[in-house]
Amino acid sequence: MASKPTIRVAVHGASGRVGQEVLRAIDAAPDLELTASIDAHEPSWSPASLPHYISVVEALSGRPADVIVDFSNASASLDMAPVALAAGVRPVIGSTGFTPEQTSYLAAIIDEHHLSGVLAPNFSIGAVLLLRLAAIAARYFDYADVAEEHHETKIDAPSGTAIALAHAIHEGHPERFHRNVPDREPLGGTRGGEYEGITLHSARLPGRMAHHQVTFGAPGQTLTLRHDTINRECYMPGVLLAVRKVMTLDGLTVGLNSLLDL
Protein backbone atom coordinates (compact mmCIF):
# COMPACT_ATOMS: atom_id res chain seq x y z
CA MET A 1 0.00 0.00 0.00
CA ALA A 2 1.40 3.41 -1.00
CA SER A 3 2.35 5.66 1.90
CA LYS A 4 0.82 9.11 2.30
CA PRO A 5 2.95 11.96 0.94
CA THR A 6 4.93 13.98 3.44
CA ILE A 7 3.34 17.32 4.37
CA ARG A 8 5.80 20.21 4.02
CA VAL A 9 5.46 22.78 6.83
CA ALA A 10 6.88 26.27 7.33
CA VAL A 11 6.69 27.92 10.77
CA HIS A 12 5.89 31.63 11.09
CA GLY A 13 6.74 33.15 14.48
CA ALA A 14 9.39 30.47 14.90
CA SER A 15 11.46 32.29 17.53
CA GLY A 16 8.56 32.64 19.97
CA ARG A 17 7.99 30.30 22.87
CA VAL A 18 5.27 28.31 21.12
CA GLY A 19 7.05 28.59 17.78
CA GLN A 20 10.05 26.78 19.26
CA GLU A 21 7.81 23.92 20.42
CA VAL A 22 6.23 23.75 16.96
CA LEU A 23 9.65 23.39 15.34
CA ARG A 24 10.50 20.49 17.67
CA ALA A 25 7.14 18.74 17.21
CA ILE A 26 7.16 18.93 13.42
CA ASP A 27 10.80 17.90 13.24
CA ALA A 28 9.95 14.78 15.27
CA ALA A 29 6.86 13.81 13.22
CA PRO A 30 7.73 11.20 10.57
CA ASP A 31 4.99 12.31 8.16
CA LEU A 32 5.87 16.03 8.29
CA GLU A 33 8.83 17.94 6.85
CA LEU A 34 10.05 21.32 8.09
CA THR A 35 10.80 23.64 5.18
CA ALA A 36 11.60 26.98 6.83
CA SER A 37 11.52 29.03 10.02
CA ILE A 38 10.23 32.58 9.60
CA ASP A 39 10.66 35.38 12.13
CA ALA A 40 12.34 38.75 12.59
CA HIS A 41 14.82 36.95 14.84
CA GLU A 42 16.44 33.56 14.40
CA PRO A 43 15.07 30.90 16.76
CA SER A 44 17.36 29.79 19.57
CA TRP A 45 16.79 26.18 18.44
CA SER A 46 16.08 24.70 15.03
CA PRO A 47 17.30 21.67 13.06
CA ALA A 48 20.79 22.33 11.77
CA SER A 49 19.82 22.21 8.09
CA LEU A 50 16.65 24.31 8.37
CA PRO A 51 16.90 27.66 6.55
CA HIS A 52 15.67 30.79 8.34
CA TYR A 53 13.94 33.73 6.68
CA ILE A 54 12.68 37.12 7.79
CA SER A 55 10.34 37.46 4.81
CA VAL A 56 7.36 35.16 4.22
CA VAL A 57 7.65 35.81 0.47
CA GLU A 58 11.28 34.70 0.39
CA ALA A 59 10.62 31.68 2.60
CA LEU A 60 7.79 30.30 0.47
CA SER A 61 9.48 31.03 -2.84
CA GLY A 62 12.77 29.57 -1.63
CA ARG A 63 11.28 26.44 -0.03
CA PRO A 64 7.79 25.39 -1.22
CA ALA A 65 5.41 24.32 1.57
CA ASP A 66 1.95 22.81 1.90
CA VAL A 67 1.09 24.35 5.29
CA ILE A 68 2.32 27.34 7.28
CA VAL A 69 1.87 27.22 11.07
CA ASP A 70 1.57 30.70 12.57
CA PHE A 71 2.16 31.65 16.21
CA SER A 72 3.02 35.35 15.85
CA ASN A 73 0.27 37.92 16.50
CA ALA A 74 -2.94 38.96 14.77
CA SER A 75 -1.32 41.77 12.79
CA ALA A 76 1.54 39.62 11.51
CA SER A 77 -0.89 36.79 10.73
CA LEU A 78 -3.03 39.07 8.59
CA ASP A 79 0.08 40.13 6.66
CA MET A 80 1.20 36.52 6.26
CA ALA A 81 -2.08 34.93 5.16
CA PRO A 82 -2.52 36.56 1.71
CA VAL A 83 1.09 35.81 0.82
CA ALA A 84 0.81 32.18 1.88
CA LEU A 85 -2.51 31.63 0.12
CA ALA A 86 -1.21 33.20 -3.10
CA ALA A 87 1.58 30.59 -2.96
CA GLY A 88 -0.95 27.79 -2.46
CA VAL A 89 -0.01 27.30 1.20
CA ARG A 90 -2.69 26.57 3.80
CA PRO A 91 -2.46 28.54 7.08
CA VAL A 92 -2.85 26.97 10.53
CA ILE A 93 -3.09 29.96 12.88
CA GLY A 94 -2.70 29.91 16.65
CA SER A 95 -2.26 33.66 17.06
CA THR A 96 -5.02 35.40 19.00
CA GLY A 97 -6.63 38.83 19.12
CA PHE A 98 -8.61 38.66 15.86
CA THR A 99 -11.77 40.75 15.58
CA PRO A 100 -14.88 39.19 13.98
CA GLU A 101 -14.21 41.36 10.92
CA GLN A 102 -10.64 40.08 10.64
CA THR A 103 -11.82 36.48 10.96
CA SER A 104 -14.34 37.12 8.18
CA TYR A 105 -11.54 38.57 6.05
CA LEU A 106 -9.43 35.44 6.55
CA ALA A 107 -12.38 33.25 5.58
CA ALA A 108 -13.00 35.34 2.45
CA ILE A 109 -9.43 35.24 1.14
CA ILE A 110 -9.17 31.50 1.84
CA ASP A 111 -12.35 30.97 -0.20
CA GLU A 112 -11.00 33.18 -2.99
CA HIS A 113 -8.01 30.88 -3.35
CA HIS A 114 -10.14 27.70 -3.04
CA LEU A 115 -7.97 26.51 -0.18
CA SER A 116 -8.43 25.77 3.52
CA GLY A 117 -7.17 27.06 6.83
CA VAL A 118 -7.52 26.57 10.59
CA LEU A 119 -7.80 29.39 13.13
CA ALA A 120 -7.88 28.28 16.77
CA PRO A 121 -7.65 30.44 19.91
CA ASN A 122 -6.26 27.45 21.81
CA PHE A 123 -4.69 24.21 20.56
CA SER A 124 -4.78 22.47 23.94
CA ILE A 125 -7.26 19.60 23.83
CA GLY A 126 -8.07 20.19 27.53
CA ALA A 127 -8.98 23.81 26.82
CA VAL A 128 -11.20 22.74 23.92
CA LEU A 129 -12.99 20.31 26.23
CA LEU A 130 -13.41 23.15 28.74
CA LEU A 131 -15.21 25.13 26.03
CA ARG A 132 -17.54 22.23 25.32
CA LEU A 133 -18.27 21.48 28.97
CA ALA A 134 -18.93 25.17 29.71
CA ALA A 135 -21.44 25.36 26.86
CA ILE A 136 -23.25 22.29 28.19
CA ALA A 137 -23.38 23.59 31.78
CA ALA A 138 -24.42 27.13 30.80
CA ARG A 139 -28.04 26.24 30.10
CA TYR A 140 -28.59 25.32 33.77
CA PHE A 141 -27.30 28.52 35.40
CA ASP A 142 -28.08 32.25 35.34
CA TYR A 143 -24.75 33.63 36.64
CA ALA A 144 -21.35 33.04 35.01
CA ASP A 145 -17.80 34.31 35.57
CA VAL A 146 -14.71 33.63 33.45
CA ALA A 147 -11.29 34.20 35.04
CA GLU A 148 -7.98 33.80 33.24
CA GLU A 149 -4.33 34.20 34.27
CA HIS A 150 -1.32 34.46 31.98
CA HIS A 151 2.34 35.42 32.11
CA GLU A 152 3.20 39.10 32.32
CA THR A 153 4.32 39.41 28.67
CA LYS A 154 1.03 38.34 27.07
CA ILE A 155 -0.03 41.17 24.75
CA ASP A 156 -3.84 40.82 24.84
CA ALA A 157 -6.40 40.78 27.64
CA PRO A 158 -8.71 39.03 27.94
CA SER A 159 -7.15 36.03 26.24
CA GLY A 160 -8.57 34.63 23.03
CA THR A 161 -9.58 31.50 24.94
CA ALA A 162 -11.46 33.57 27.55
CA ILE A 163 -13.38 35.32 24.79
CA ALA A 164 -14.11 31.97 23.15
CA LEU A 165 -15.37 30.69 26.50
CA ALA A 166 -17.73 33.65 26.84
CA HIS A 167 -19.08 33.02 23.33
CA ALA A 168 -19.51 29.29 24.02
CA ILE A 169 -21.33 29.99 27.30
CA HIS A 170 -23.63 32.47 25.57
CA GLU A 171 -24.39 29.97 22.80
CA GLY A 172 -25.41 27.44 25.45
CA HIS A 173 -27.50 30.08 27.27
CA PRO A 174 -28.75 32.56 24.64
CA GLU A 175 -30.55 34.71 27.22
CA ARG A 176 -28.45 37.37 28.92
CA PHE A 177 -26.96 36.21 32.22
CA HIS A 178 -27.79 37.96 35.49
CA ARG A 179 -24.94 40.20 36.65
CA ASN A 180 -24.72 42.06 39.93
CA VAL A 181 -24.02 45.79 39.62
CA PRO A 182 -22.79 47.13 42.98
CA ASP A 183 -24.34 50.24 44.49
CA ARG A 184 -20.81 51.57 45.10
CA GLU A 185 -17.53 50.83 43.34
CA PRO A 186 -14.72 52.56 45.27
CA LEU A 187 -12.19 51.27 42.75
CA GLY A 188 -13.36 51.43 39.13
CA GLY A 189 -13.21 48.32 36.96
CA THR A 190 -13.13 45.91 39.89
CA ARG A 191 -16.03 43.86 38.51
CA GLY A 192 -14.10 43.17 35.31
CA GLY A 193 -15.24 43.09 31.70
CA GLU A 194 -18.68 41.98 30.61
CA TYR A 195 -20.18 40.06 27.68
CA GLU A 196 -23.90 39.24 27.65
CA GLY A 197 -23.92 39.35 31.46
CA ILE A 198 -20.85 37.09 31.74
CA THR A 199 -18.09 38.73 33.78
CA LEU A 200 -14.49 38.31 32.57
CA HIS A 201 -11.37 38.84 34.71
CA SER A 202 -7.73 38.87 33.54
CA ALA A 203 -4.54 38.58 35.59
CA ARG A 204 -1.00 39.07 34.24
CA LEU A 205 1.97 38.13 36.42
CA PRO A 206 5.23 36.16 36.40
CA GLY A 207 5.06 32.52 37.40
CA ARG A 208 1.89 31.82 35.45
CA MET A 209 1.46 30.39 31.97
CA ALA A 210 -2.17 29.93 30.86
CA HIS A 211 -5.05 29.23 33.23
CA HIS A 212 -8.79 29.48 32.58
CA GLN A 213 -11.65 29.01 35.00
CA VAL A 214 -15.41 29.19 34.53
CA THR A 215 -17.65 29.51 37.59
CA PHE A 216 -21.42 29.16 37.32
CA GLY A 217 -23.68 30.27 40.17
CA ALA A 218 -27.20 29.36 41.26
CA PRO A 219 -29.03 29.58 44.60
CA GLY A 220 -27.17 27.38 47.10
CA GLN A 221 -24.51 26.08 44.69
CA THR A 222 -21.69 26.84 42.29
CA LEU A 223 -20.05 24.79 39.54
CA THR A 224 -16.38 25.43 38.71
CA LEU A 225 -14.59 24.19 35.58
CA ARG A 226 -10.85 24.85 35.25
CA HIS A 227 -8.00 24.14 32.87
CA ASP A 228 -4.32 24.74 33.65
CA THR A 229 -1.57 24.77 31.04
CA ILE A 230 1.65 23.50 32.63
CA ASN A 231 3.92 23.87 29.59
CA ARG A 232 3.61 24.67 25.90
CA GLU A 233 4.10 21.07 24.86
CA CYS A 234 0.38 20.60 25.53
CA TYR A 235 -0.46 22.55 22.35
CA MET A 236 1.47 20.24 20.04
CA PRO A 237 -1.02 17.33 19.60
CA GLY A 238 -3.63 19.89 18.53
CA VAL A 239 -1.21 21.67 16.19
CA LEU A 240 -0.16 18.41 14.53
CA LEU A 241 -3.80 17.37 14.18
CA ALA A 242 -4.63 20.67 12.48
CA VAL A 243 -1.62 20.42 10.12
CA ARG A 244 -2.74 16.98 8.99
CA LYS A 245 -6.46 17.75 8.81
CA VAL A 246 -6.16 21.08 6.98
CA MET A 247 -5.01 19.24 3.86
CA THR A 248 -8.47 17.68 3.49
CA LEU A 249 -10.67 20.60 4.59
CA ASP A 250 -12.45 23.34 2.64
CA GLY A 251 -12.58 26.99 3.69
CA LEU A 252 -11.74 28.34 7.14
CA THR A 253 -12.28 26.12 10.18
CA VAL A 254 -12.49 28.13 13.41
CA GLY A 255 -11.68 26.27 16.62
CA LEU A 256 -10.01 22.94 17.25
CA ASN A 257 -13.35 21.53 18.45
CA SER A 258 -14.46 21.17 14.83
CA LEU A 259 -11.57 18.79 14.23
CA LEU A 260 -12.34 16.71 17.34
CA ASP A 261 -16.02 16.05 16.49
CA LEU A 262 -17.17 17.82 19.66
- Residues 83-139 have pLDDT tens digits of 999 999 999 999 988 999 999 999 999 999 999 999 998 899 999 999 999 999 999
What mean pLDDT value characterizes the chain?
94
> With 0-12 CB in 10 A as exposed, 13-18 as middle and 19+ as buried, what is 212?
buried
Residue 1 has pLDDT above 60, yes or no: no
pLDDT at 162: 95
What would the pLDDT profile of 10-35 be if each residue is shown by its tens digit?
A: 999 999 989 999 999 999 999 999 99
Catalytic annotation present for 150: yes
What would the pLDDT profile of 57-71 be if each residue is shown by its tens digit?
A: 999 998 899 999 999
Catalytic annotation present for 154: yes
Helices (H) and strands (E) in the chain, counts: 7, 12
- % residues pLDDT > 90 (the chain): 87
Q: What is the pTM of this model?
A: 0.83
Could you say which of 150, 170, 212, 227 is catalytic? 150
pLDDT at 257: 87
Query: Rounded CA gap, 221 and 3, in Å?
Result: 54
Could you say which of 154, 201, 211, 245 is catalytic? 154
Q: Which domains does the chain have, with CATH numbers?
A: 7-119+232-259 (3.40.50.720), 125-229 (3.30.360.10)
Residue 261 has pLDDT above 90, yes or no: no
With b for 16 or more beta-carbon neighbours within 10 A and e for fewer, the 129-167 pattern comes to ebbebbbebbeebbbbbbbbbbeeebeeebbbbbbbbbb
pLDDT at 69: 98
pLDDT at 5: 80
What would the pLDDT profile of 227-242 be if each residue is shown by its tens digit?
A: 999 999 999 999 999 9
pLDDT at 224: 98
For residue 166, what pLDDT band results from cuts at 50, 70 and 90? very high
pLDDT at 3: 61
What would the pLDDT profile of 190-210 be if each residue is shown by its tens digit?
A: 999 999 999 999 999 999 999
| DSSP β-bridge partners for residue 10 | 36, 68
